[in-house]
Structure 1
């Protein structure tokens, strides 16, 4: 009986430690609110690394001819990515003058930034077949680059998350849609929640539940510093923000660092 109680106390201590690690910062679409940068550009990835934040988030889409490109929306300059071959997209420019990047471009650049995690968001596609193909191509590219530990996955699509669990079960995989209890995600093999700030503000018990299950908790997109502080107080693992420097400064202040 005494041994059993000791083991239970140890387990509770482990859960507590899981939830008390210092909150880390993820730059939303990279660090783009600065000179020479743009959302989802390689410059934004590089600048996120220079800012020494935990990770840089970016979005990917599948083209008509099965190339994976880095873009938030399903269209660029009015052109639908899914219906267009890459040859017709490759010279399109971002707001900072960079060409539209492929996932290959991004992985090559990111691999050089060994202290920066790449938070790869796979956007929902029109059909599950297209989503499955996108996941297969993406995971294959990450594995060929031997970047399984540096790349973490997020998606609004439950199907995409489930496919990731099948193809790369040891990866960090988080669901974005903010409408499922952590225990139900854990049962599917998904090991993180990445939920909208308003949802976690209204359901802080989901933060505790996720931590008790050994899951990571990310919150998006938090640009108000008052809400940043609330999420720090709730001991979330990550805060995704368009203001990584300001958020990092607040975390350091909260932690008592100079």
Structure 2
């Protein structure tokens, strides 16, 4: 299998575990926002994980849910959305950029998960191109992107949808000359097969989550598009390798000494998501994963430092 230089940016080593800013630094700044990405980069965390969805006019934008998230989207009057949340795919980019994503509704169950997130006005959903422009700045020349293609459950079995989605994303990445600094990342293994078909020069990162784990409050579930690995936890690294994966990105609660060891024997880079609590960060350090994805990258930096580890 081809060796990809992009993978090495995420691979750990002796006394080295990488830190990946999840949606920028969701714990402290608006998620999937340019200000959050810039913050993560500025504190020495050059690895970014984020979500891409297509608008009605085929613009790749960076947002997690397939519908405008009522807990974080405010209308032109500064009010959080109520009622049925419109799908991103039903709105043009110009329509989506009318909404402000700089605050969280503290009365919502989702907002209560992130009490330390700063509240900022006039923050807009960025295009993928906007983030690519940011990391193209020479001062961020070491930045690498873990670009999650969010598979729409309503269209997951539509081959034309998959082809167009991947083509639009690759058009942006290649247009900026940044394919050597990007990893294509998804729960949808069919979508990753399309990525490999269109971009054999870019590595695939296979997200997984066992179905018995609870979904995160206020977020789209991956379970409708992710393969069901019930009872096959320690086989997953073999399946990722067989599918052509270079990185395995499991939910942190699903990793064991056995499957981490097996993944590394296969040459896979093991990147665990999303690890925020000190006890869980410590367990991931003890397991020797390659990289830790976190909403609080500074928290992981500090714990790594106190444990005698580097992150760069």
| TM-score between the two structures when normalised by the length of structure 1 | 0.85
Q: How many residues align?
A: 237
- Asked if the contact 1:60/1:70 (under 8 Å) is kept, the reply is yes
Aligned to 2:97: 90
Given candidates 25, 43, 65, the residue that maps to 1:31 is 25
Name the SS of the counterpart of 1:75 in structure 2.
coil
Name the SS of the counterpart of 1:217 in structure 2.
strand
Map 1:151-170; keep pairs closer than 5 Å.
Answer: 151-170=182-201
Given candidates 80, 83, 87, the residue that maps to 1:80 is 87
Map 1:172-187; keep pairs closer than 5 Å.
Answer: 172-178=203-209, 179=229, 181-187=236-242
Gaps in structure 1 of 5+ consecutive residues: 1-16
Name the SS of the counterpart of 1:176 in structure 2.
strand
Q: Do the aligned partners of residues 167 and 109 (structure 1) sit closer, same or farther apart at CA in structure 2, a change above 3 Å counting?
A: same
Map 1:224-239; keep pairs closer than 5 Å.
Answer: 224-239=277-292
Which structure has greater strand proportion? 1
Give the root-mean-square deviation of aligned CA atoms: 1.9
Q: Do the aligned partners of residues 177 and 256 (structure 1) sit closer, same or farther apart at CA in structure 2, a change above 3 Å counting?
A: closer
Map 1:15-26; keep pairs closer than 5 Å.
Answer: 20=14, 22-26=16-20
Aligned to 2:150: 123
| TM-score between the two structures when normalised by the length of structure 2 | 0.71
Gaps in structure 2 of 5+ consecutive residues: 1-10, 74-84, 103-119, 210-228, 230-234
Name the SS of the counterpart of 2:90 in structure 1.
coil
Map 1:109-120; keep pairs closer than 5 Å.
Answer: 109-112=134-137, 113-120=140-147
Distance in structure 2 (CA, Å) of the matches to 1:132 and 1:71: 20
- Larger RCO (alpha carbons 8 Å, 6+ apart): 2
Which structure has greater helix proportion? 1
Distance in structure 2 (CA, Å) of the matches to 1:57 and 1:115: 15
Aligned to 2:172: 141
Q: Do the aligned partners of residues 52 and 166 (structure 1) sit closer, same or farther apart at CA in structure 2, a change above 3 Å counting?
A: same
Distance in structure 2 (CA, Å) of the matches to 1:159 and 1:140: 20
Aligned to 2:212: none
Distance in structure 1 (CA, Å) of the matches to 2:12 and 2:276: 25
Distance in structure 2 (CA, Å) of the matches to 1:18 and 1:41: 27
The Cα of 1:44 is off from its aligned counterpart by 0.6
Given candidates 45, 48, 52, the residue that maps to 2:44 is 52
Q: Do the aligned partners of residues 228 and 256 (structure 1) sit closer, same or farther apart at CA in structure 2, a change above 3 Å counting?
A: closer
